[in-house]
């Protein structure tokens, strides 16, 4: 595998993953790397690895809320904690996997729009009507999107991607691989950059 490739394993439900998403395209451009977005279901990863959301530990959750604001300020990016958190991201992640498979030209717009609706101007993306509004905003009908996320091949692809993430050692999000070197967390992007040098 080329050292000039970043595999970015992500789930929209992770605020630290949103923060990584705001930085990785620039890092890839500046280092001449190819950035591959790899959708996975974080709940499935947690189940397979025995991990859990940091907010399941109240003291860590309180600290993390402050740390997210610090990181957003550090990078000069907008951030607002979603009051509807945690949100079941199964439909959203099937959407990501499905667009990569069937409508790749919409994938970047979709990821930007969903991250924005999750962590910038937070919406309840557990609500089908809210998801439909976001999808229609990128030029896709809600009917087409629901058909996509219900497609058996799309469902199987997300399962396979999640299984591959676990097999590679992923236990949470965001996780980046540069070649076979794994880096977990938005606070490790300097190491991702160094690995690409």
What is the set of active-site residues?
Answer: 14
- Asked if 89 contacts 11 with a C-beta cutoff of 8 angstroms, the reply is yes
| Alpha-carbon gap, residue 165 to 179, rounded angstroms | 14
> Would you say 97 and 39 are in contact if contact means Cβ atoms under 8 Å apart?
yes
Neighbours of 130 (CB within 10 A): 15
Tell me whether the omega of the peptide bond preceding residue 26 falls within 30 degrees of 0, making it cis.
no
The residue whose two tokens read 């058996």 is: 152
């Amino acid at each position: 595998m080329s050292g000039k490739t970043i595999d970015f394993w992500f789930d929209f439900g992770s605020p630290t993953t949103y923060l990584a998403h705001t930085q990785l395209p620039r890092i890839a451009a500046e280092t001449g790397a190819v950035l591959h977005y790899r959708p996975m279901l974080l709940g499935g990863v947690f189940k397979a690895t025995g991990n859990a959301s940091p907010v399941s530990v109240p003291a860590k959750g309180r600290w993390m809320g402050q740390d997210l604001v610090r990181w957003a300020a550090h990078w000069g990016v907008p951030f607002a904690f979603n009051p509807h958190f945690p949100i079941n991201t199964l439909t959203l992640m099937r959407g990501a996997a499905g667009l990569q498979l069937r409508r790749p030209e919409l994938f970047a717009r979709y990821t930007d729009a969903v991250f924005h609706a999750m962590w910038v101007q937070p919406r309840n993306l557990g609500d089908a009507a809210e998801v439909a509004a976001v999808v229609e905003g990128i030029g896709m009908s809600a009917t087409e999107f629901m058909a996509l996320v219900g497609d058996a091949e799309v469902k199987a692809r997300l399962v396979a991607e999640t299984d591959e993430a676990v097999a590679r050692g992923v236990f949470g999000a965001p996780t980046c691989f540069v070649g076979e070197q794994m880096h977990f967390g938005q606070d490790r992007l300097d190491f991702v950059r160094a690995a690409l040098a």
